[in-house]
Amino acid sequence: MKLHPHEPPRVELAQLPTPVVELKQLAKRQGVHRLLMKRDDLTGLELSGNKIRKLEYMVAEALAQGSDTLVTHGGVQSNHCRATAALCARLGLHVRLILRSAGVVPEMDGNLFLDSLFGAECSYHSPDEYTSKLDELVAESLAQEAMSGRKPYFFPVGASVPLGCWGYIRCVAELVEQLGCEAPIDLYCATSSGGTQAGLILGRALFQCEKWSVRGVPVSDSSDYFRQKLSELVRETIGLYSLNLLPEHTPIELVEGYIGEGYAIPYPTAIETIRLAGRYEGLVLDPSYTSKAMTGMFADMATRGPDRVPVFVHTGGAFGLFARKDLLA
Ligand SMILES: Cc1ncc(COP(=O)(O)O)c(C=O)c1O
């Protein structure tokens, strides 16, 4: 079913709708009357997590353009790259991943192990090279693919472009079905490339859930950076798809102070949150995103009124934990 007259086409790949569950043990432990989780870690196994919702739209555009190859980039343990590799294998497409890696030969573990299992063609680049030469690396990969007779389609890290934002607009439509618009809900998610939070913000506005608040926890960059990045992404999406929304319908709300020393650098409270989620709910959080987001949520929900219902959007990433088992040893 179409969400909105201007919703772009999508290829159905994820297991949707994902369930909403009560976290009774964690709620008791954190002293709140109710704590819910949207299990977007269950969008699939290989295709798990938030990325696949966005990729459903990206891949539809790629196929419509006649592309047979997807090119994208991210960190060496990127969930986005792994989900892209898995969907390419499933759809019979070639995939090329440009990966940022501190070591020259990265360890084949976690998501990278799966990238290789799914047949992705990977190149590895030092953080300096990746940051300073990304545009050149992408152009080079696209040219090489074209020279090999393939038709590549490129999308940037996290698929956080207006088309990808539809993934989390759709997630809000599911939440409205599951929880109704009238409940005083605080939705929490990890924010990194921004498309997840931008989609939730747009969905909240489109489905007129005025009592909801969308509270992103930055895990990679400063709140100032995200205020600007999210405003731009939301504004571009509204413009591109002629959504009838004003800036006051799409407030940017961020829970600051939970990045730690930087992206993918864990810190003790976030590691403790991984332990708590495992011990009290049998849930797996990851070291880069969901552990920091849940740590931020625990602190933030204590400052909200007692009538508010926190809903954690579990965006997946479990494979990343396997590459960092040392944290819990
Ligand atoms: C497991 C996980 N959670 C959250 C995020 C953040 O989502 P976004 O990039 O849309 O901000 C990512 C993105 O890399 C992710 O892999």
Question: In this predicted structure, what is the pLDDT of residue 46?
Answer: 86
* Cα of 134 vs its chain's centroid, Å: 21
Whether 218 is in the pocket of ligand 1, judged by its Cβ within 6 Å, is no
pLDDT of 102 over the 90 cut? no
Whether the full predicted model's pTM is greater than 0.95, yes or no, is yes
Band of the pLDDT at 261, cuts 50, 70, 90? very high
CA 80 / ligand 1 centre spacing (Å): 8
Closest atom of ligand 1 relative to the 315 alpha carbon: 3
pLDDT of 74 over the 80 cut? yes
d(CA 277, CA 106) in angstroms, rounded, equals 29
pLDDT of 227 over the 90 cut? yes
Question: In this predicted structure, what is the pLDDT of residue 329?
Answer: 82
Place of tokens 């490339």: 193
Mean pLDDT of 113-139: 96
Q: 132-137: long-range contacts at Cβ-Cβ below 8 A with a sequence spacing of 24 or more?
A: 134/73, 134/98, 137/73, 137/98
pLDDT in tens, 1-52: 789 999 999 999 999 999 999 999 999 999 999 999 999 999 998 888 999 9
Question: In this predicted structure, what is the pLDDT of residue 1?
Answer: 79
pLDDT in tens, 160-193: 999 999 999 999 999 999 999 999 999 999 999 9
CA distances from 98 to 65, 104, 157, 274 (A): 22, 14, 10, 29
Whether 101 is in the pocket of ligand 1, judged by its Cβ within 6 Å, is no
Average pLDDT over all residues of the chain? 96
Mean pLDDT of 125-152: 97
Residue 138, CB half-sphere, CA atoms under 13 Å: how many?
16
d(CA 92, CA 114) in angstroms, rounded, equals 16
Mean pLDDT of 123-148: 96
Query: What residues are labeled active site?
Result: 78
Whether 74 is in the pocket of ligand 1, judged by its Cβ within 6 Å, is no
Q: Which two tokens stand for residue 162?
A: 């207006």
pLDDT of 105 over the 80 cut? no
- Residue 319's nearest CA partner among 68, 9, 37, 83 is 83
d(CA 158, CA 80) in angstroms, rounded, equals 6
CA 220 / ligand 1 centre spacing (Å): 10
pLDDT of 104 over the 80 cut? no
Mean pLDDT of 133-139: 97
| Dihedral Cα 206, 210, 211, 213, nearest 10 deg | 60
d(CA 211, CA 209) in angstroms, rounded, equals 6
pLDDT of 254 over the 90 cut? yes
pLDDT of 84 over the 90 cut? yes
